[in-house]
A and B are shown apart, each in its own frame.
Chain A
Amino acid sequence: GNSVTQMEGPVTLSEEAFLTINCTYTATGYPSLFWYVQYPGEGLQLLLKATKADDKGSNKGFEATYRKETTSFHLEKGSVQVSDSAVYFCALSEAPRGQNFVFGPGTRLSVLP
C-alpha cells in the first residue's frame, strides 16, 4: 500500500538557519503530494502541494519539489523564524480515490531566537 516516511524529529534550529525536512513516499500510481503544518493547539493547515512530477509547491518561504525519480518531496526554507515552530506533516493522495490520503508521522520543528 501507499506510505509516507519523514525524518524523525524534533528538529531544533536557530533563527535564520536553513531548514530541510525530508519526505519520501511509496505509491502505486501517480499521487499528489502535500505538506501540512500544525501550530500548537490548532488543526492541520495546508502549507503547499504539488500535483505532478517536477512541480514545485511554495508558500510563506517554504518550497518542495515533486521528485518522481527519487520518490521524494523534501520541504525547505532558506531562513526560518521563531513563528515557524510547528509540526510538519508530509502527505499524499491518489485521485480519484479521495479517501486515500496518507500522512507521515510528522516532524516537530523548534526555532530558537
Chain B
Amino acid sequence: NAGVTQTPKFRILKIGQSMTLQCAQDMNHNYMYWYRQDPGMGLKLIYYSVGAGITDKGEVPNGYNVSRSTTEDFPLRLELAAPSQTSVYFCASSYSGQLSGNTIYFGEGSWLTVV
C-alpha cells in the first residue's frame, strides 16, 4: 500500500533556484493538498485541489505554484527559492463525497533548505 508518495525527501536549494516537489497518491482520492510545517509550528495550507484540472490557494500560496493534470499527481513548484521557504513540506490526500468522516492521509514529508 503506497498511499501518498513524496519526492525528494531532502533537498538543499540556493537562493533564486527553482524546483518541483512531486506527489502521487494511489487511493483514487479526489482531494489533494500541500502543507508546510515550520520548525515547532503547526501546518499551513499552501494549495489544494478538489479534482483534476482544479486548484485553489490556501493560506500561504505566495512563491508556489501547483498543477493537477491527473487524479494521482499534484506537484508543487517553488519559483525563485527564498530562505523563508525553508520548511518541511507535506503532501496529503482525502476522498470527499457526501459522507462525513473523510480522513486525510499524509506523505512522509520533504525537508527543504534554502541557503
Contacts and interface: CB of A to CB of B under 8 A. Distances in A.
A101 B98 CA distance: 15
A43 B6 CA distance: 11
A44 B31 CA distance: 17
Contacts of B106: 36, 43-45
Q: Is the interface of A mostly helix, strand, loop or mixed?
A: loop
Most B CB atoms within 10 A — which of A44, A45, A46, A98?
A98
Contact of A95 (B41, B48, B50, B98): B98
B101 interface: yes
Given A32-B102, A44-B90, A103-B43, A96 B97 contact: yes
Q: How large is the interface on B (under 10, 10 to 19, 20 to 34, 35 or more residues)?
A: 20 to 34
Contacts of A77: none
A28 interface: no
Interface of A: 30-32, 34, 36, 42-46, 49, 51-52, 89, 91, 93-99, 101, 103-106
Interface of B: 30-31, 33, 41-43, 48, 50, 56, 90, 92, 94-109
